[in-house]
Structure 1
Amino acid sequence: MAAAGAFSAAIDRQSAAPMYDQLRRLIIDGISRDGMRPGDLLPGEHRLCEQYGISRTVVRQALAQLEHEGVVERVKGKGTFVARPRINENLVHTLVGLYEDVERRGGHVHSDVLRHEIEPASADVAEALGLEPGTPVVVLERLRIVDHDPWALATVWMPEEVGRVTFGADLSDASLYRLLADHGVRATTGVRSAEATVASHAQALLLGVSAGTALLRLRSVSRDASGRVIEFFIAHHRGDRSRFEFELREEDAQASLLHLDPRADR
């Protein structure tokens, strides 16, 4: 990790641009000019205040905006670092898994299997899978690691007749969807949703973040060609690593309007 440097140029106090935005731009230019890489340490707040003759409030506004944009990453007690770029993921609007999505980009996914067993379906799981509560289901909980970085916590529930083929398979470096497909089980339709949440203490420990850190929560139900539900999953992705990207078309927008929840504007 490179040591913090000093950015050049100066704040133009006659400019109509807010000082925090000028500093934001200077930091971005300095990162590019000096060839700084993800993980490199940036000058601290006190040093920036002294160099530019500005208040700590201005510095913190600039850094907060840069953190929101994914340019920097602030670690309490350690400093501000150049952030790793967020990866565009296609998991919300396509029936692919994280393994296939990352593999397509030339990356690698490793999974630490935290739980893989048969359990009675809770009310929520049973409803999602179209089963009676208490029906045996296969549960697979994994910590997904992308190119050595903890990325997501994912729990998948499958009807026992679907999930039983997963026992005995090594799912640490393999695709669950590919394994199911090899046994004739393929997802053809599904519904996925994404929402913002924050990391619990247990999630934070596994994902390498602080409790309360922003996460992206995916919820998905997939069906095979016959309409049978084959899986239900909930995954929590690190908000500082993932960015979900959508490709929109006119016909998609029209179709979405037909499915608006009439309760949405109540």
Structure 2
Amino acid sequence: MTSAIDRTSPLPFYYQLKQILLTEIRERDLAAGDRLPGDHELCATFDVSRTVVRQALAELETEGVIVRVKGRGTFVAPEKTAERLVQSLTGLYEDVAARGSHLRSEVRRQEVVPADEQIAAQLEIQPGSPVVVVERLRFVDDEPWVLATTYLPHDVAPGLVDDDLTDQSLYALLERRYDVHLTHGRRGVEAAVAGDALAADLAIKPGDPVLVLRSTSHAGDRPVEMFVAYHRGDRSRFEVTLSRTRPTDAQLEPLMRVTAP
């Protein structure tokens, strides 16, 4: 590292150190898992206090640039998959491909079963109706990322039980082979912790955070797919685009009555 703290600058030392480290990561093209200098080395190199170093590293960790592992050191953080799954009917396959990574699936289960009451209610079919269930452990660049279980009415895609879903998008397959075009849906995200079995599947520790995505998708008026997916909390983030609608006079009227003199 050749840059130095400018002691005549009005910028705080921690901020300058943070920018130096960001530049170092970018210009050296450091990859996820590459080690960065430790606290003591940074203090000596830049002649700053440990408080300055800790604040700079804390901000970088909060922003997801680095990870600090107790007893091991500071490392460049893995890039999280930016998923738009909660705001548009894209699948993980499309989101991963958009960032230039490769998604493959280890299909754990792919069979026709009778729908229980909960699945039947979500898909608006009779309990006991045949549904295709597909359970996949999904890998991004060969790292386990998501464990997902998907249910579809059997008549929507009757040949799906025999399709190879290792390296292809389910949504693209539904459109191309079965002429099923998703139009809208409802998705929710909640936080949870991994139990022993899920932790082993996702290569994380029991008790580590996971993000649970639950979804039901429609083709026109008919629900045609539902899934529950457990995403590693340290590898995924969900992005949502927000817009503000100007409140109507009717919505503002109660507030105006309260604030009127």
After TM superposition, the score normalised by the length of structure 1 is: 0.75
What pairs up with 1:60-75 in 2 under 5 angstroms? 62-75=56-69
1:213 equivalent to 2:208? Answer yes
Q: Distance in 1 between matches of 2:17 and 2:191?
A: 29
What CA distance in whole angstroms lies between the structure 2 residues aligned with 1:23 and 1:198?
35
Secondary structure, counterpart of 1:212 in structure 2? coil
CA deviation map 1:100-130 (0-9, x unaligned): 2333444322111122223343443233222
SS at match of 2:158: helix
For residue 119 of structure 2, what is the amino acid of its counterpart?
V
State which of 156, 163, 168 in structure 1 corresponds to 2:162.
Answer: 168
In 2, are the aligned partners of 1:7 and 1:26 still within 8 Å (CA)? Answer: no
Q: Which moved more, 1:20-29 or 1:89-98?
A: 20-29
2:108 alignment partner in structure 1? 114
Would you say the 8 A contact 2:112–2:161 is kept in 1? no
Question: Which of structures 1 and 2 has the bigger CA Rg?
Answer: 2
Identity of aligned residues (%): 47
- Note the C-alpha offset of 1:54: 4.0
Contact persistence 1:24–1:62 (CA under 8 A): yes
From 198, 201, 217, the equivalent of 1:203 is: 198
Are 2:128 and 1:155 aligned? no
Matched, 1:183 2:178: yes
| Distance in 2, Cα, partners of 1:100 & 1:130 | 27
1:245 paired with 2:239, answer yes
* 2: CA distance, partners of 1:149 / 1:169: 23
42-51 or 174-183, which deviates more: 42-51
Aligned mates of 1:208, 1:11 — CA distance in 2 = 43
The count of residues paired between Structure 1 and Structure 2 equals 246
The match for 1:139 among 133, 144, 160 is: 133
**Structure-2 residue corresponding to 1:3:** none
Question: What is the deviation of 1:49?
Answer: 5.8
SS of structure 1 residue aligned to 2:36:
coil
* 5+ residue gaps, structure 1: 1-5, 259-266
Structure 2: how far apart are the matches of 1:66 and 1:240? 15
Instruction: Point out the more displaced range, 135-144 or 28-37.
Output: 28-37
> Are residues 1:222 and 2:214 paired?
no
Who is 1:262 aligned against?
none
Q: Check if 1:89 corresponds to 2:58.
A: no
Name the SS of the counterpart of 2:59 in structure 1: helix
TM-align CA RMSD: 3.3
Distance change (3 Å), C-alpha of 1:65 and 1:203? farther
> Deviations along 1:201-233, whole A, 9 cap, x unmatched?
3222222233333332221101112x1111111
Structure 2 unaligned regions, length at least 5: 252-261
Asked if the contact 1:192–1:220 (Cα under 8 Å) also holds between the matched residues in 2, the reply is yes
* Structure 2 CA distance for aligned equivalents of residues 132 and 11 of structure 1: 71
**CA 1:185–1:66: 2 relative to 1, 3 Å:** same
Shift of 1:64: 4.1
| TM-score, normalised by the number of residues in structure 2 | 0.76
